[in-house]
Every structure is written in C-alpha cells, then in structure tokens.
Amino acid sequence: MPDGTASRFLGGSPLSVVLRLILLSVVVGVILSTLGFDPLNIWLSLQRLVQALWNMGFDAFRWLWSYFLLGAVLVIPIWLVVRLAKGGRA
C-alpha cells in the first residue's frame, strides 16, 4: 500500500498508530492487572467459554445472548456517542 493509503486505512501515520496502540495496550494491561487478570487467566477463561459452549449446546445461545445484551447496554451507547461526536468525519 502506498503511504497515503496506509495512513488513511490506519487512521494516521503507521508509526504514530503503532505507538498509540502500544501505549493503549500498556494502559489496558495495567488496568486488567489491577483487576486481577493476567494473560493465563484470560486464556483459561476463553477455554472455559469454548468448553461451556460445546457442553451446553443450545442453552449456550441463551447464555451468550444474555452476555451480549449485558455488554451491548454499555458498548452501543458509547459507540453512538463517539460516532455522533465525530459528526460524520472518517
């Protein structure tokens, strides 16, 4: 990709995007660590999720739907506010 296309795709210059992602990852990592999470804990949680989906069959869809709704209550309004704040800008 030419530099202009890469910058447009990434939302800025590649180096600045990488640096922002690194900084954001460190901040989120500190927050998750403070809450008691670690990479192994997250991996084991994902394994338990897959195992539960496999074991519970169609009940898993109901279980997953409740988590979706719980997350959507927070995610959708934040997304909407961010999109409205951008005012149609890319």
Q: Model pTM?
A: 0.45
Contact 14, 25 (CB under 8 A): no
Report pLDDT digits (tens) over 32-63.
777 777 777 778 887 887 887 777 777 767 77
Helices (H), the chain: 3-10, 14-34, 39-56, 59-86
At residue 78's C-alpha, the angle toward residues 37 and 15, to 5°, is 70
- Is the predicted pLDDT of residue 6 greater than 80, yes or no? no
Report pLDDT digits (tens) over 12-38.
888 988 898 889 888 888 887 777 777
- List the structure tokens of 87: 């005012």
Residue bearing tokens 């660590």 = 33
